[in-house]
Structure 1
């Protein structure tokens, strides 16, 4: 049994995780939100799960290091500075950072990387995603996770080989790039498709999130797995041994 503290406890994901804890043997150590004492929560927890905001990340990492406990970072919209802070924290404690805690999406990314590697740059890759109207960042963290998987498969840098927000006279599609399209509306929990389009054939790898609970279950699985690990930076691939 583990004591699990939640950063962003009043958010959608925080509430979903807290509700699911009642179905497990783990204990809810409490939840905090912006401006509240993260360090105190960390002192009473065995692991932290953060689904808050990029601005709150520094406090979470500082608290985890201070308490000597691991942290699962599921917050999206992270900057390069945020990722550098995670790298530094991971030298002291185990940190698992991911753009999506779904086990299904984790496997999807693995398949996308393999497909991109096998098919090569002659196959165009387009990533589409749709989320609820309240989501504030685009492309989603999951879309970027899938884009990174495709880029790894091709051995390229995603930032230098991506196309976003096409509008007007954009010209022909550049060979080897990875395209993104983001849709927002309604109460969609999350839909992602990776389309690989070749000559006269097309492959679509798709994941539909029917309920936010899938992310909460994955976050709890990640937190369980992370406890007792050596300091370092981990991903959901490590949880599934991919």
Structure 2
């Protein structure tokens, strides 16, 4: 069986390097391209050099050059960059796994439109554990629909640029959908001063940023006399990389369509 040819966007970044290493170590995949921004000092260098695993693939800012041999692109960059990659991939039939967060509604709509031309897995978190946690939250919300206050606390490293995290928002969406609520209406993203009593239908968010925290998420269902907490803590980005490779394998027999990690993991 021929190897799956995969390219990585943001190849010189923290997540990019993790993806390059995971692809290099995977027995069924080949690193076929590496992209980064034009200002990156890593342009023209071997994508695996910093890992001590030279790949023969040079990092490029030119889409045509970086993606000429690729059937898939894994993208964990930023919305503006991902949308540029999306346009190129849709036009050239390159399938995408998108782990980028922070998209506005227009960006999400662009991804959905591109999925009519190519196959895409788009999820705010590629971790297998996080997605199993989302399923657990769906189950918990059904049981704690009355008499329990719901709060979501997330913590990430100092370099993260969006808040709340895409994973925290997804957790809120899953819970709100299960309860028949609209997160845009019931989400509370800041509290300061005299806020009055808590609205029992609200879903609160708290954000922590500091140090090198990879990603911690806890959902509290706080009732009278008891509190249930469902948590997921990441100690390494490798879990996101491994989940992304599972998403690539899932897309192999798909030509078009928009999918998420529930589809990849069979959690529907």
TM range (shorter): over 0.9
Deviating above 3 A after TM superposition, structure 1's stretches of 4 or more consecutive aligned residues are none
Tell me the distance in 2 between the aligned counterparts of 1:172 and 1:75.
36
Q: Residue 24 in 1 paired to residue 41 in 2?
A: no
Aligned partner of 2:16 in structure 1 is: 14
For 2:206 and 2:83, the matched residues in 1 are separated by 30
Q: Conserved in 2, the CA contact under 8 Å of 1:5 and 1:29?
A: yes
- Note if 1:149 corresponds to 2:152: no
Q: Which moved more, 1:22-31 or 1:102-111?
A: 22-31
- Structure 1 counterpart of 2:5: 3
Kindly state the Cα deviation for residue 4 of structure 1 after the two structures are TM-superposed: 0.6
Structure 2 residue matching 1:160: 3-state secondary structure: helix
1:34 is matched with: 37
Query: C-alpha separation between the residues in 2 aligned to 1:212 and 1:158?
Result: 28
Query: Which one has more relative contact order, counting CA pairs under 8 Å at least 6 apart?
Result: 1
SS of the residue aligned with 1:43? coil
For normalisation by structure 1, the TM-score amounts to 0.96
Aligned residues: 242
Partner residue of 2:107 out of 69, 73, 82: 82
Aligned counterpart, 1:217: 242
Matched with 1:226 is 251
Larger Cα-atom Rg:
2
Structure 2 counterparts to residues 14-163 of structure 1, below 5 A = 14-25=16-27, 26-35=29-38, 36-163=61-188
Question: 1:66 Cα deviation (Å)?
Answer: 2.1
Distance 1:93 1:127 in 2: 34
RMSD between superposed Cα atoms in Å = 1.2
Q: Which residue of 2 aligns with 1:189?
A: 214
Q: Which runs of 5+ in 2 are unaligned?
A: 39-60
Distance (Å, rounded) in 2 between the aligned partners of 1:134 and 1:146: 22
TM value normalised by structure 2: 0.87
